Amino acid sequence: MSTSITDVRYFYGVGRRKAATARAKYYPTSEELTILVNKKPFATYFPEQFRQVITEALNNLSITTGQVHFFVNGGGVSGQAQACRLAVSKSLVLMTPELRAVAKVYKYLTTDIRKVLPKKAGFRKARKREQWSKR
């Protein structure tokens, strides 16, 4: 059973990066592209350099119409922006499977699993040891 764009109200994707989690809902409409993050305008939530992370992905995937709603929590601004990029890419691939090849080329569907190492007992940081003196 295949679903067409008219049968589904929105397409959903989840992205994670560092400690951030983003859930994206893409509503296919004929209107100009509008983006909301946690019910706030895109331009007020993210600074310019992090907005580019997401808008670059939408431009490369040829998305110019519709609405994107992000629900983001955890982590910092950089991790949240990268989580949003992954989430919206996943939702767009659900809508149009032909976009998968393009998204793979740009590595938009690759989850970056690197996380911060926890600090160990007896160490100054995760790997930095206390200074040792022989005498």
Task: Identify each DSSP E strand in the chain by its residue range.
Answer: 11-17, 20-32, 34-37, 40-41, 65-73
Predicted confidence band at 135 (pLDDT cuts at 50, 70, 90)?
confident
What does the pLDDT look like over 1-59, one tens digit per residue?
A: 555 656 779 999 999 999 999 999 999 999 999 999 999 999 999 999 999 999 999 99
Task: Identify each DSSP E strand in 2-131 by its residue range.
Answer: 11-17, 20-32, 34-37, 40-41, 65-73
What does the pLDDT look like over 79-90, one tens digit per residue?
A: 999 999 999 999
- Domains in the chain (CATH in brackets) are 11-105 (3.30.230.10)
Which residues does residue 31 pair with via DSSP β-bridges, in sequence order? none
Q: Give the H or E element holding residue 100.
A: helix 99-105
Express as a percent the part of the chain with pLDDT over 90: 93
What does the pLDDT look like over 111-120, one tens digit per residue?
A: 999 999 999 9
Residues 6+ apart with CB under 8 A from 132: none
**pTM listed for this prediction:** 0.88
3-state DSSP call for residue 69? strand
pLDDT at 105: 96
pLDDT at 84: 97
- Edge-first strand listing for the sheet containing 34-37: 11-17, 20-32, 65-73, 34-37, 40-41
